[in-house]
Amino acid sequence: MDNEKEENKEVTVKKTGFKQSVWEFIKFVIIAVIIVVPIRLWVAQPFIVSGSSMVPNFENGEYLIVDEFSYHFREPQRGEVIIFRFPQDPSRFFIKRIIGLPGEKVEMKNDNIHIYNEEFPEGMTIEESYLADDLKTGNGLIMILDENEYFVLGDNRSMSSDSRIWGSLDKDLVIGRAWIRLWPFNKISISF
């Protein structure tokens, strides 16, 4: 008889332990959701580079963390690599480099990019040290950007669908900037 009580006691302890484990797991999930979801929605999100439009700086299959937070406090800057919704199909995400800023005139001439704005009314040539030496940028394109519009290009100009083809990029389509490269491990880097 005493053995039966001890066996029942053990079963009760196990049930209480199981309930407690389930409750601990539920609390863990709730806390994780409370922490992770806001970060994922408003601070940072993952992005996998698809395609060769940003070679040699970003290659197909590289895993990035996108900073969604800083553009709430400052404007995107020339030269920053951004992730955005493709204007012709917002369900698709693209990665490109900002070349022209709102209100500027962008001109491609003699395989160089010239920017005209209030600071440089006579124009300035953009130095693009991140490009391959033998890259051809093109000629003949002139685009005047409205307020909240950007001119973006892929670093691999011959393999990129960008503002030269589909026009300016509206600021509302910008998700954020490429912030951390996590994969491959030998190329881990942070952009400030």
Claim to verify: residue 41 and residue 56 sit in the same structural domain = no
Catalytic-labelled residue, pool 5, 19, 21, 96: 96
Claim to verify: residue 39 and residue 57 sit in the same structural domain = no
Claim to verify: residue 171 and residue 103 sit in the same structural domain = yes
Claim to verify: residue 166 and residue 84 sit in the same structural domain = yes
- Report whether 76 contacts 98 (CB < 8 A): yes
Give the domain CATH number at 60. Answer: 2.10.109.10
> Residues 36-61: pLDDT tens digits?
666 666 666 777 778 778 878 878 88
Q: How confident is the model at residue 132 (pLDDT cuts 50, 70, 90)?
A: confident
The predicted pLDDT at position 13 comes to 46
> Residues 8-24: pLDDT tens digits?
555 444 455 777 888 88
> Residues 136-177: pLDDT tens digits?
777 788 889 999 999 999 888 888 888 998 999 999 999 999
Distance from C-alpha of 88 to C-alpha of 184, rounded to nearest angstrom: 30
Claim to verify: residue 22 and residue 96 sit in the same structural domain = no
Claim to verify: residue 103 and residue 184 sit in the same structural domain = yes
Let me know if 96 is a catalytic residue.
Answer: yes
Provide the residue type at 94 as one letter. F
Number of domains in the chain: 2
Claim to verify: residue 10 and residue 100 sit in the same structural domain = no
Claim to verify: residue 120 and residue 174 sit in the same structural domain = yes
Query: pTM for the complete prediction?
Result: 0.74
Claim to verify: residue 36 and residue 62 sit in the same structural domain = no
Of 133, 143, 135, 183, nearest in space to 165 by CA: 143
Pick the residue with more confidence: 40 or 181? 181
Q: 36 is in which domain, residue-wise?
A: 1-45
Catalytic-labelled residue, pool 14, 27, 50, 53: 53
Of 149, 189, 171, 175, nearest in space to 59 by CA: 189
Q: Is 46 helix (H, G, I), strand (E, B) or coil?
A: strand
Claim to verify: residue 36 and residue 128 sit in the same structural domain = no
Claim to verify: residue 173 and residue 122 sit in the same structural domain = yes
Claim to verify: residue 53 and residue 89 sit in the same structural domain = yes
Looking at every residue in the chain, the average pLDDT score rounds to 81
